[in-house]
Structure 1
Amino acid sequence: MLSFAKGRYRARTALGPEDLEAAQRLRALAFRGPDASRPDTDDFDAACTHVLVEEARSGDLVCCFRLLHLGSGAEIGRSYSAQFYELSALADFDGPMVEMGRFCIHPDWRDPDILRVAWGAMTEYVDRQGVEMLFGCSSFHGIEAREYYDAFALLRDRHIAPKRWLPRVKAPAVFRFASRLRRKPDLKRAQAKMPPLLRTYLLMGGWVSDHAVIDRDLGTLHVFTGLEIRAVPPARARLLRAVAG
């Protein structure tokens, strides 16, 4: 069972139906807004380990995410991401993989330590399970790509996946930012518009697909994101483990 605490917050594995329902309610609030009529659920929940981040004193749920463990890339078709991206290139990845999904922070909580604790818990899980790649869909709020042109231009210039792993287009509605954007990114604006989770992936040497999927169900744009643990630069690996320490 995963258990990690630092400062005001603690992260732990969901223990039963009540914990899972609390995570699904938070997901509905974060992705679908305060008027969501029911919890956010899907068929992948049953196959995943769910992680809750709580404010230690009150027990308030402030963040959640789920983890799907795959023995190797040969199982990539089981992932949530495989619904949206053609991932056959990753079938050759020979180590254990984990998909991080449905990551969200309660909209009323803006403490950056929440994200740090979530990454600390993830690092503990990676080390304990011998994970060699993290991946998932990193979401931008809303479906209007124009709002994020600078962020997408920065991804195009610096962070596209290596050719050997590059996801191909599968979803019916996508924004092909790598081939269609011609602008030079405004770096300050790009960083301001980059989702915090994606920003952390990139800090550790992560990479993204060359297109964003337009997900009208959740009201997001998302990019496939991968992070090869063995390719993380040593200084950045120490930084990540310092967060967990």
Structure 2
Amino acid sequence: MASAVLLNKGRYRARLAQSAPDVTAAQALRTLAFATDQTDRDDFDNTCAHVLIEDMRCGGQLVCCFRMLTMENGSEIGQSYSSQYYDLSALGEFSGRMVEMGRFCIHPDWSDPDILRVAWGAMTAFVDRNGVKMLFGCSSFAGTETEEYLDAFAMLKHRHLAPKRWLPRVKAPDVFRFASRLRRRPDAKKAMLRMPPLLRTYLLMGGWVSDHAVVDRHMNTLHVFTGLEIGAIPPARKRLLRAVAV
């Protein structure tokens, strides 16, 4: 069996879940981080690989987790979690291996920015090992009210919309069509302050988003479909990611 450890960096270790108790621990952290009334689990947990990031200075405490669903190409896009909320038929033409990254969360008692860097290092190691050509998923804003995020959505409209050939279409019944509704120019500072850290990292690497946000009242979030073509990541950014991943 290949090593489950994706990387060790400073006080943190990133590894793939190897057992049912590992997955249960990830579900417990998600439940805590997402503040849900019931355990956060679904059928996708059975088919995904789960990445666990542990603080080895605190006895291996689980401080971050996310899950990954690997697809050989776009013909399998209908099996993704995201396809429940977005019409992703355009991505059915994508010819390379794809990974859906989901349920990303960090323990609310940990605020070390190195955790996010280690998470992306672990993802980079996985991408390189498996020849992945695209990452995608849903990037969430806390709450379902759009008002405090208008500069962030305006920034997404003006700089980060998906290429037309991959653009997701509306499928969910409750959406905020920010690309067609917003007329404001974004305040860049306010936009970046309100942008979720995970989405901000996607964008720094050349990621793109859908032209609308889904209002998910069950999870109490607004989310945008987010895609990142590995071949489009700027070379300098790739070098930084791979420096973390070794």
Check if 1:8 corresponds to 2:11.
Answer: yes
* Contact 1:25 1:38 survives alignment (8 Å): no
* Contact 1:206 1:227 survives alignment (8 Å): yes
State how many pairs are aligned. Answer: 242
TM-score by length of 1: 0.97
- Aligned counterparts, 1:185-204, within 5 A: 185-204=186-205
Superimposed CA distance per residue, residues 163-195 of structure 1 (whole angstroms, 9 cap, x where no aligned partner) = 000000000000001010111111111101111
- How much has 1:239 moved relative to structure 2? 2.1
Between 193-202 and 230-239, report the one with greater CA deviation: 230-239
* Contact 1:139 1:220 survives alignment (8 Å): yes
Q: Determine the structure 1 residue equivalent to 2:21.
A: 18
* Contact 1:21 1:39 survives alignment (8 Å): no
Q: Determine the structure 1 residue equivalent to 2:53.
A: 53
Q: Determine the structure 2 residue equivalent to 1:44.
A: 44
- How much has 1:161 moved relative to structure 2? 0.2
Superimposed CA distance per residue, residues 16-61 of structure 1 (whole angstroms, 9 cap, x where no aligned partner) = 1111111111111111x2xx44320111110100011110122111
Amino acid at match of 1:19: D
- Structure 1's consecutive aligned runs of 4 or more residues displaced over 4 angstroms after TM superposition are none
The SS at the match of 2:218 is coil
Distance in 1 (CA, whole Å) between partners of 2:225 and 2:99 is 13
- How much has 1:2 moved relative to structure 2? 4.1
* Contact 1:49 1:67 survives alignment (8 Å): yes
* Contact 2:154 2:184 survives alignment (8 Å): yes
Distance in 1 (CA, whole Å) between partners of 2:224 and 2:5 is 27
% identical aligned pairs = 71
TM-score by length of 2: 0.96
Amino acid at match of 2:45: D
The SS at the match of 1:57 is helix
Distance in 2 (CA, whole Å) between partners of 1:143 and 1:176 is 14
- How much has 1:128 moved relative to structure 2? 0.2
Distance in 1 (CA, whole Å) between partners of 2:162 and 2:5 is 30
Q: Determine the structure 2 residue equivalent to 1:218.
A: 219
* Contact 2:76 2:92 survives alignment (8 Å): yes
Q: Determine the structure 2 residue equivalent to 1:111.
A: 112
